[in-house]
Structures are given as C-alpha cells and as structure tokens.
C-alpha cells in the first residue's frame, strides 16, 4: 500500500489522472481478496495487482476507458463491477477459480487536492506506530469521498455524512483486519486497514534473523534488530530493518522501549533465557523464542522459580514458529513469519 500510494502521488504531481482499482468484495475462490489494489494511468502504466490474469486485464481496460472519457475533477466515471471467475457463465472471464469479485474503479483527477493531501497524510502514518484505516463512501459511486481514521492520533476525513457519534457506534464494523463494506444511516462505506501498530523486536542477528527480517519487512512488519555485537547489529546485514541497535542483552530496556503493541522474537545465540525473562515483564503483544522443546521446558521451570506465573509462561510461543518441519535458517524464518501473520490477523479479527 505504501508503494502504491507513493506511485499515485508521483503521478498526480506530474499532472496524470489516475484510476485506483480496488477489490471491495469477494466470495468463493479468488486470486486476491478484498483490499487488493492497483493503480493505472493513461499510458497503461500500473502498480499493484488485483490477481493478474483475465480479471486484471479487463479491469485495466475499464480503467483506460475511464481515463480517456473522464473530465470531472471529482471522480466522474467511478463505478463498481462484479466479475465471475469461472467458465460457462454469461459474464465469466474463463477463469477456473470459481469465485466472484467486485472491483471499484475509482477515478482520481490530478486537480483533486483533497485526495492528494489525504494520500500524503496516509504516507505519514507509515512512519508511526498506530492502527489506521482508509474508508471510502461509495454510496454514490461517481461522487466518492474518503477518510483516514487512526486510533490515538489525528485523523483526516472528507466523509461529511459520517459523524463522530456514528463512527464510534460502528467502530467494530468499520475497523476490521480486512476490507469490509458497511451500511450506516443509509450510506455505503468500504473500509480497509492502512497501517498496523506494533514493531517486531528481533533479538539476535544471526542466520535466522538475517533471513527473517527481510521477509517480515516484505510482509509489512516494522522490524528492529537488536544484538550485543556490532558485527551482527549491522545495517549492511539488515537494510530492511527500521533500526539496528547494538545493546546489552542483560538490559534491553536501556536501548529499546517495548510496549503492549509490539512483538518480540528471541533468536539469540545459545537461546538463553535472559532476553525472554525481560520481555515477559514488559508484556508485549507477542513473544516467540527459538530453541528445542526440552530447553523450553527447562526454562519454564526456571521461570516458575523466579516468580512468573504459569499463564505468563504459556503466553510465550516456544519453540517459536508454526511446525512445518523446518530445518534451515530460511525455513525457520518462514515458520516464524507464518506464525506472526496468524497472530496479527487474529489480533484484529474481533
């Protein structure tokens, strides 16, 4: 999303009108679900994807038709269309997925300063540690309006009909982990997550971390790498990390401030319990610790003797990762990343 918004802003600043194509509903088997986006300009250039194949090609053609015919600065030509992704149907695309998607074709004029400023605000949020959602009023599809809402900080919105009281009353419906359509006071809104709170603090800069950090970064996790040796706490080894810290494993709070929003991954050399014990006291949202099952059981006994409760010990994901019989550092990184994806999804599914 960050890359897509950056491209859209660059195009708008160069005087290019843009079509933003978003899957706003899906059912059955589909290549991408609600929230998948792509942006297209008049010369056919595009960024992002809604699944490829015939679906994407047809949407690109619709976008080009919209760009060639739209003159209004306020979204003329914007509309939604449903596609059936299975053969032998009147409006099928000849695909074998078997599902259905609804795509919203959103025309954005380069003269639309409100939307440009909204997207600039959205990009600023990626540098903050907060939850945010982008909400579009699609009641009148050709006259859409957008807003961005955050928890605990400034929001920005052109949704005049959505009052603060209505927003508060429908917060659980609007602010979910995936794209969703909601009807409020006779109007139709499409809402999807924009940014997610919580950094991943990775302790230990060895082989597993070197595979894990770029993978998590690609999955939109903000990573902080922490090691006690400069040869591992090295920006050249971890160019994707938000920050790289050389610190003391015996006093992690002297170098980092871990909150209840954050994730802690302990992949230190020797899998010692020092960092885990400190992390348990800080109560982040997630703690995962690498190591064998027998070592995990041994540490659990030590923690009980140190005064930790069984519930506190049970909160720790140890051994870390989803069990996929992983062996190499790259495979272990995949298993850890998969677990973090699941934990993040469950966090916002309520």
pLDDT reported for residue 197: 87
Q: Which tops the pLDDT comparison, 173 or 6?
A: 6
Q: Which of 25-29, 134-138, 147-151, 305-309 has the lowest mean pLDDT?
A: 25-29
Q: Is the pLDDT of residue 101 over 60?
A: yes
Residues 6 or more apart whose Cβ sits within 8 Å of residue 81: 62, 102, 103, 105
pLDDT reported for residue 27: 82
Same-domain check for residues 98 and 231: no
pLDDT reported for residue 92: 47
Same-domain check for residues 32 and 171: yes
pLDDT reported for residue 96: 47
Q: Is the pLDDT of residue 285 over 60?
A: yes
- At which of 193, 215, 247 does a domain end? 193
Same-domain check for residues 203 and 331: yes
- Show the tokens assigned to 67: 């760009």
Same-domain check for residues 20 and 134: yes
pLDDT reported for residue 296: 86
pLDDT reported for residue 71: 55
- Show the tokens assigned to 310: 């069984």
Same-domain check for residues 141 and 240: no
Q: What is the mean pLDDT of residues 327-339?
A: 96
pLDDT reported for residue 332: 96
Question: Over the chain, what is the mean pLDDT?
Answer: 88
Q: Which tops the pLDDT comparison, 16 or 345?
A: 16
Same-domain check for residues 4 and 98: yes
Same-domain check for residues 153 and 212: no
* pLDDT tens sequence across 203-257: 999 999 999 999 999 998 999 999 999 999 999 999 999 999 999 999 999 999 9
pLDDT reported for residue 293: 85
Instruction: Give the count of domains, the chain.
Output: 2
- At which of 171, 193, 215 does a domain end? 193
Q: What is the 3-state secondary structure (H, E, C) of the chain?
A: CHHHHHHHHHHHHCCCCEEEEEEEEEECCCCCCCCCEEEECCCCCEEECCCCHHHHHHHHHHHHHHHHHCCCCCCCCCEEEEEECCCCCCCECCCCCCCEEEEEEEEECCCCHHHHHHHHHHHHHCCCCCCEEEEEECCCHHHCEEEEEECCCCCEECCCCCCHHHHHHCHHHHCCCCCEEEEECCEEEEEEEEECCCEEEEECCCHHHHHHHHHHHHCCCEEEEEECCCCCCCCCCCCCCCEEEECCCCCHHHCCCCCCCCEEEECCHHHCCHHHHHHHHHCCCEEEECCCHHHHHHHHHHHHHCCCCHHHHHCCECCCCCCCCCCCHHHHHHHHHHHHHHHHHHHCCC
Q: Which tops the pLDDT comparison, 70 or 323?
A: 323
pLDDT band at 297 (very low <50, low <70, confident <90, very high): confident
Q: Is the pLDDT of residue 95 over 60?
A: no
pLDDT reported for residue 76: 63
* pLDDT tens sequence across 123-177: 998 888 888 999 999 999 888 999 999 876 667 787 877 777 788 788 888 888 7
Whole-angstrom distance, CA of residue 224 vs CA of residue 50: 31
Question: Residue 215: which CATH number?
Answer: 3.40.50.720
pLDDT reported for residue 349: 60
Same-domain check for residues 242 and 159: no
Same-domain check for residues 53 and 188: yes
Same-domain check for residues 100 and 127: yes
pLDDT reported for residue 84: 80
Q: Which of 177-186, 241-250, 328-337 has the lowest mean pLDDT?
A: 177-186
Q: What is the mean pLDDT of residues 80-102?
A: 65
β-bridge pairing 145-150 and 132-137: antiparallel
Show the domain range for 302. 199-347
- At which of 172, 193, 214 does a domain end? 193
β-bridge pairing 18-27 and 263-266: unpaired
pLDDT reported for residue 160: 73
Same-domain check for residues 167 and 279: no
Q: Is 348:317 a contact under the CB 8 Å cutoff?
A: no
Whole-angstrom distance, CA of residue 68 vs CA of residue 54: 21
Same-domain check for residues 99 and 175: yes
């Amino acid at each position: 999303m960050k890359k897509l918004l950056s491209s859209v802003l660059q195009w708008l600043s160069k005087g290019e009108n843009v079509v933003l194509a978003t899957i706003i509903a899906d059912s059955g088997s589909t290549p991408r679900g609600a929230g998948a986006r792509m942006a297209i300009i008049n010369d056919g250039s595009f960024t992002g994807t809604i699944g490829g194949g015939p679906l994407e090609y047809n949407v690109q053609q619709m976008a080009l038709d919209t760009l060639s015919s739209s003159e209004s600065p306020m979204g003329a030509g914007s509309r939604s269309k449903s596609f059936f992704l299975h053969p032998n149907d009147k409006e099928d695309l000849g695909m074998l997925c078997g599902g259905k998607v609804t795509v919203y074709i959103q025309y954005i004029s380069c003269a639309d300063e409100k939307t440009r400023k909204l997207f600039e605000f959205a990009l600023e949020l990626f540098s903050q540690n907060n939850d945010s959602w982008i909400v579009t009023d699609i009641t009148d599809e050709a006259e859409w309006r957008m807003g961005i809402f955050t928890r605990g900080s400034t929001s920005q919105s052109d949704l005049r009909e959505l009052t603060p009281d209505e927003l508060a009353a429908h917060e659980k419906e609007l602010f979910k982990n995936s794209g969703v359509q909601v009807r409020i006071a006779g109007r139709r809104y499409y809402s999807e997550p924009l940014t997610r709170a919580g950094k991943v603090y990775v302790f230990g800069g060895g082989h597993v971390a070197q595979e894990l950090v770029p993978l998590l970064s690609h999955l939109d996790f903000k990573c902080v790498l922490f090691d006690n040796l400069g040869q591992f706490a090295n920006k050249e080894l971890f160019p994707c990390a938000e920050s790289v810290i050389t610190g003391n494993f015996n006093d992690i709070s002297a170098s980092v401030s871990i909150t209840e929003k954050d994730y802690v991954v302990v992949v230190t050399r020797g899998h010692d319990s020092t960092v885990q014990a400190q992390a348990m006291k800080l109560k982040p949202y997630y703690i995962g610790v690498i190591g064998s099952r027998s070592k995990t059981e041994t540490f659990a006994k030590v923690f009980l003797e140190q005064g930790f409760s069984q519930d506190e010990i049970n909160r720790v994901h140890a051994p870390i990762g989803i069990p996929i019989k992983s062996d190499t550092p790259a495979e272990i990184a995949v298993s850890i990343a998969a677990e973090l994806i699941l934990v993040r999804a469950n966090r916002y599914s309520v």
